[in-house]
């Protein structure tokens, strides 16, 4: 099999939250696979720095994904001024740590608005163009918390579980137009946010380390490589999957 089936040359990807962490890892992998990338986020200085590092083929748009009314303008701007969106990666999301009994309705709704409602709104808008062109790849970034129960993240875990239902429903409607919808469920991936969180909680750090079957935490490039595969022609017959990239954490005892 020719390695060209893994190439993303000529493709344009939109990666929300693409300036840092997992989003940056995905964007870098896409660029290396030959794609052009548009990254979005709320902080222009972060986006500018990321685009400079990504190099030629990288663009950015300042955008707050929770501003659902602005989503059609964002997508139209990219389609008109940069190019047709072939790949959408719904990476942007927020976290809330707290026991269920300490999580307010406002906390819960804020997580769902960002991690589910905004994801659906952006996917629906990008799909308008993809369905018309009869091609496209949509990737949701899920979580281990969407595959098994984890304490202190009730709102976040629920939001990531909901993405699996969203994937399933969209597959039934988009597949006949050759628009594929998949999810990646990252395990514990090295990032500043994650490392800062666990370094302040030795008990949780040990709990996480014991859960992972392989040695050590994952890297953002591990998620990026999985996203490249799912977006490429090598995965042309794959839709509706939730792919754990977790070092075996899902199945380890």
Residue owning tokens 């709104």: 121
Q: Is 156 a catalytic residue?
A: yes
- For 68-105, give the DSSP string: GGGHHHHHHHHHHHT----EEEE-------B-GGG--H
Q: How far is CA 189 from CA 101, 166, 185, 186, in A?
A: 28, 24, 11, 7
- For 163-179, give the DSSP string: HHHHHHHHHHHHGGGTE
Catalytic residue among 60, 129, 156, 174: 156
Based on the number of CB atoms within 10 Å of its own CB, is 32 exposed (0-12), middle (13-18) or buried (19 or more)? Answer: middle
Catalytic residue numbers read 156
């Amino acid at each position: 099999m020719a390695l060209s089936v893994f190439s993303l040359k000529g493709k344009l990807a939109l990666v929300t939250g693409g300036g840092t962490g997992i989003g940056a890892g995905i964007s870098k992998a896409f660029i290396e696979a030959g794609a052009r990338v548009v990254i979005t986020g709320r902080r222009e200085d972060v986006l500018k720095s990321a685009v400079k590092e990504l190099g030629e083929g990288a663009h950015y748009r300042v955008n707050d994904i929770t501003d659902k009314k602005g989503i059609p303008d964002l997508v139209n701007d990219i389609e008109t001024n940069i190019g047709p969106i072939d790949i959408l990666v719904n990476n942007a999301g927020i976290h809330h740590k707290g026991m269920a009994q300490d999580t307010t309705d406002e906390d819960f709704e804020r997580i769902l608005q960002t991690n589910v409602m905004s994801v659906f709104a952006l996917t629906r808008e990008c799909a308008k163009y993809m369905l018309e062109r009869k091609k496209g790849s949509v990737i949701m970034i899920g979580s281990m918390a969407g595959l098994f129960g984890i304490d202190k993240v009730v709102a976040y875990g629920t939001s990531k579980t909901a993405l699996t239902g969203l994937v399933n429903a969209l597959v039934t409607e988009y597949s006949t137009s050759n628009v594929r919808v998949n999810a990646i469920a990252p395990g514990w991936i090295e990032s500043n946010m994650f490392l800062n969180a666990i370094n302040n909680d030795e008990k949780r750090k040990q709990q996480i380390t014991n859960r992972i079957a392989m040695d050590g935490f994952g890297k953002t490039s591990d998620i990026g490589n999985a996203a490249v595969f799912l977006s490429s022609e090598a995965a042309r017959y794959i839709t509706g999957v939730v792919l754990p990239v977790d070092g075996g954490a899902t199945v380890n005892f």
